[in-house]
Amino acid sequence: MAVILSGIKPTGIPTLGNYLGALKNFVKLQNERTEDKFLFFIADLHAITVPQNPAELRANIKNLAALYLACGLNKDNLVLFIQSEVAEHAEMGYIMQSMAYMGEMERMTQFKEKSRKQETGVTTALFTYPALMAADILLYNTDLVPVGEDQLQHLELTRDLAIRFNNRYSDTFKVPEGLVTKVGARIMDLQNPLKKMSKSEDPGDKGCIFLLDPIDLIKKKIKSAVTDSDSIVKYDKANKPGISNLMTIYSCITGEDYKTIEAKYVGKGYGEFKSDLADIVASEIAKIQDNYKKLINSSELDEILDKGRDEATYLARKQLSKAYRKVGLGRKK
């Protein structure tokens, strides 16, 4: 039995990028690997590394919990929990900070990008973020971490920290592997296809599709996506980033490869392609929204999160105690 774990930050409403790069893949894995154990969580401690409005954060946490399930995860083989409700994450995060070097943290692209965007008030937690992420993963003897491409560097660091700890003290942590899908690991902004679609963008961003956007608005955003002027549906990421990004979205949802899509639209132009894609995306997201509406105010959602918290706490406590003992903290040998 393998342990499969991943987290998403409640920094806004999840986007089509989060869905295709992460959530949809979680569901697929869960359907394929029925013998394995799945832990998914809401990374709220990671969210506060940049300023958040408390009321919005609380709502985003609940929305994200409901959306995990609304995307089709099976609650019967799932530990779904909120990171801050399992205090061991912060405690193990501190152990990982004491293993990580300043130099390795300084190299992290996500830190460099996010701190560049903020002129003042870059927090120390934004800097030490990857140590907390390593803790999230190592607390559960995780084998596989399904993520989008942007997280691979953090995963490499997690592996380094696990190996360093094991060498310094003795075998304690399993060294995890990242798992990135071939297509969909990096969905770009529809208005600026050179930039990643991100949920912490301005909610009015026309290039970003949020999973709770009205269906009509979703169609409109797709139809007004930026593309080049030659109107030939062809995958060419370097020269035609706009249409290539739309083809990636098309392929992720329908399962058709780029060649098949190209053949289908020979001589048809962008208008027809975009209109079809708008319908495809709208019907996929409409299903999610229907499920979401049933869950968001239900007692079932709270019950699933309570159960998830208790199970995660039990597992995390065991691993944390082991790590403390190895380091020499506390009185027990």
Separation CA 125–CA 62 (nearest Å): 23
Is 259 annotated as catalytic?
Answer: no
What residues from 2 to 41 belong to the interface with ligand LTN (CB under 6 A)? 5-7, 9
User: Is residue 92 within 8 Å of 315, Cβ to Cβ?
Assistant: no
CB nearer ligand LTN, residue 158 or residue 251? 158
48 contacts 280 by C-beta, under 8 angstroms: no
CB–CB of 86/316 below 8 Å?
Answer: yes
Q: Which residue sits closest to ligand ATP, CB atoms considered?
A: 21
* Smallest distance, ligand LTN to C-beta of residue 145, A: 5
Answer yes or no: 199 catalytic: yes
Q: Which residues contact 12 (CB under 8 A, 6 or more apart)?
A: 60, 199, 200, 201, 203, 210
Cα dihedral sign for 138, 143, 145, 151?
positive
Q: Which of residues 39-58 bind ligand LTN (CB under 6 A)?
A: 43, 46
| Tally of residues, the chain | 333
Q: Cβ closer to ligand LTN: 113 or 257?
A: 113
The C-alpha atoms of residue 310 and residue 81 are separated, in whole angstroms, by: 9
Q: Which does 136 bind (CB under 5 to 8 A by kind): ligand LTN, ligand ATP, none?
A: ligand LTN
The minimum distance between CB 189 and ligand ATP, in angstroms, equals 8
Choose from ligand ATP, ligand LTN, none: what does 178 bind? Cβ within 5-8 Å by kind.
none
Piece in contact with ligand LTN (CB under 6 A), picked from 147-155, 195-203, 223-231, 266-274: 147-155
Q: How far is the CB of 232 from ligand ATP (least distance, A)?
A: 25
The residue annotated as part of the active site, out of 24, 37, 62, 196, is 196
Q: Between 68 and 265, whose beta carbon lies closer to ligand ATP?
A: 68
Q: Does 37 participate in catalysis according to the annotation?
A: no
Buried b (16+ CB within 10 A) or exposed e, 240-265: bbbbbbbbbbbbbbeeeebeebeeeb
Residue number with CB closer to ligand LTN (24 or 46): 46
Containing 6, the helix (H) or strand (E) segment is: strand 3-8
Site string for ligand ATP, 173-202 (x = CB under 6 A): ------------xxx--------xxxxx--
Which residues are CB-contacts of 279 (< 8 A; sequence separation ≥ 6)? 219
Q: According to CB under 6 A, which one of 133, 157, 243, 277 is a site residue for ligand LTN?
A: 133
Instruction: Say if residues 196 and 188 touch (Cβ distance below 8 Å).
Output: yes
Residue among 70 and 138 whose Cβ is closer to ligand LTN: 138
Q: Are 209 and 249 in contact (CB under 8 A)?
A: no
- The distance of closest approach from Cβ of residue 136 to ligand LTN in the complex, given in angstroms and rounded to an integer, is 4
Binding mask 80-99 for ligand ATP (x = CB under 6 A): --------------------
Catalytic member of 24, 37, 199, 274: 199
**Contact partner, 309, from ligand ATP, ligand LTN, none, Cβ < 5-8 Å per class:** none
Q: What kind and span of H or E run contains 145?
A: strand 144-146
Q: How far apart are CA 204 and CA 97, in angstroms?
A: 37
265, 233 Cβ separation under 8 angstroms: yes
Query: Residues in the site for ligand LTN, rule: CB under 6 A?
Result: 5-7, 9, 43, 46, 133, 136-137, 145, 147, 151, 154
Q: Which residues are catalytic?
A: 114, 196, 199
Query: Residues in the site for ligand ATP, rule: CB under 6 A?
Result: 8-9, 11, 15, 17-18, 20-22, 147-148, 150-151, 185-187, 196-200
